[in-house]
Structure 1
């Protein structure tokens, strides 16, 4: 009961203090001043909005658009000159590197994939003595990268000069000679049949000397297309991705450990077993 009485006394004191403060504010005239300030602020804000609308309307109707000094110097007549500006070209495109079918003096010359024609004179391209010495350091793929004369392997995609000592194309830059360190399919003569010595051995179990002697050698793509060897496929990462298969990576160690001659033989056996399971 005493606690309830104390609460009522507190409420009475609080209400009395509120009334006293209101009377004091009214005597000082603060309420009127606040009302006047709010009206001034609202009128100024509406005036700014009105001025902005009027400025936008006038600028759209009569005022010229603001232009930078650079744009003022460009006349509308000179604008089509942009079409006459030549596009930037890389050094490789400037040298007119032409693969497969090449047009020479109006005639189309079909060349094998391991002997693409490069329209460039020998004086415009040369290698240093150190690079020439390093070319044969790696007989498998070659030791010197050359974006102009190097022929890209379909599997490793290394555009290197081959490491064969008697290759006149990579050693002397003789464009009329094929690269003996890269294969060429007797059927398609395309880049799909270009392999270096190392990839040919590791990925497909074939020797470069045997391929050179076999004038009817076919790349894995043509072998599969003609159905000569069942389940024999190209195991490059590009071709495996097209088949929705994961690239094998360094599968040669696993293949040799399991007794297979190459990665292609391992995949051929795996595809054969998978086909038998699905039947």
Structure 2
């Protein structure tokens, strides 16, 4: 009861104070000004934005830009050599001897390529006197016997596995030491069957990737590359394990797998891969 009485007294006092304040404002004449200020302070009505009507664009029906081929003028273009953008090589305006260094010499001048030319002895058709490396560079050639220490894009022979065009590190190699183009490279192999670049391997890649020695390959005049061995079925599951050949087989390249192969007791990476392929084939049979 006490709380209700206190509330009633507060409300009555509040209403009486409000009435007193309003009467005072009227007596001062500021009631109208307050209403004007409230009207000005009220938010204005938002302006209605006009909605743009989409109109369909009418395209010009003039003739379209067609190529000369679709216009039926292909014959004129093809026979007009000036209208086509050909390279300097196709226009035969300039011949760079560096781009012709891999062409083999034609035998006997009869227009036919020399038969069974070793892949480890490609003959150059350019004047090599101006392109020879300096004696200082050739002196560092035998610092590394495995692959050679001198990279030469002109005289170097590309290895199928490491793809390094290096002069070999064999001391008695006339091809890389004296740059005698009539001699084969002693530091690169050559397949007796295909005589192609697939059978060109340097000493290091031949040893690490296939477990063969260069001296044994030189003595064996009937040595065949892994590609030819697989094609003839001489050694089952013996394949080339270069990254290029493995990607063609849709297989993951082995990378540096020689340490793993030797830890497992294999002679080379090719022996490790051959064993894996044989086990996989036997597993599919059963």
TM-score (norm 2): 0.66
Q: Tell me whether 1:276 sits opposite 2:282 in the alignment.
A: yes
Q: Which has the higher helix share?
A: 1
Match in the other structure for 2:263: 257
After superposition, the C-alpha distances for 1:81-119 in whole angstroms (9 at most, x for unaligned) are: 8879834765521x44215xx425333213110011101
Q: Tell me whether 1:106 sits opposite 2:110 in the alignment.
A: yes
Segments of structure 2 that go 5 or more residues without pairing to the other structure are 1-34, 45-61, 63-80
Label 1:124 to 1:244 Cα distance change in 2 as closer, same or farther (>3 A): same
Give the Cα separation in 2 of the matches to 1:140 and 1:268: 24
Give the Cα separation in 2 of the matches to 1:276 and 1:83: 57
Between stretches 113-122 and 204-213, larger displacement belongs to 113-122
Match in the other structure for 2:200: 194
Deviation at 1:128, TM superposition (A): 1.6
Q: Secondary structure at the residue paired with 1:160? A: strand
Deviation at 1:17, TM superposition (A): 4.1
Q: Secondary structure at the residue paired with 1:267? A: helix
Label 1:135 to 1:96 Cα distance change in 2 as closer, same or farther (>3 A): closer
Matched residue pairs, number?
A: 211
Segments of structure 1 that go 5 or more residues without pairing to the other structure are 1-12, 23-59, 61-78
Give the Cα separation in 2 of the matches to 1:225 and 1:170: 32
Deviation at 1:196, TM superposition (A): 0.2
Q: In angstroms, what is the RMSD of aligned CA positions?
A: 2.9
Deviation at 1:80, TM superposition (A): 2.9
TM-score (norm 1): 0.68
After superposition, the C-alpha distances for 1:154-185 in whole angstroms (9 at most, x for unaligned) are: 00000000011111111111111111110000
Match in the other structure for 1:235: 241
Q: 2:250 aligns with which of 244, 249, 266?
A: 244
Question: Which runs of at least 4 in structure 1 moved beyond 4 Å after TM superposition?
Answer: 81-85, 87-91
Native 8 Å contact 2:97 2:126 kept in 1: no
After superposition, the C-alpha distances for 1:223-252 in whole angstroms (9 at most, x for unaligned) are: 011111110000000001111111111100
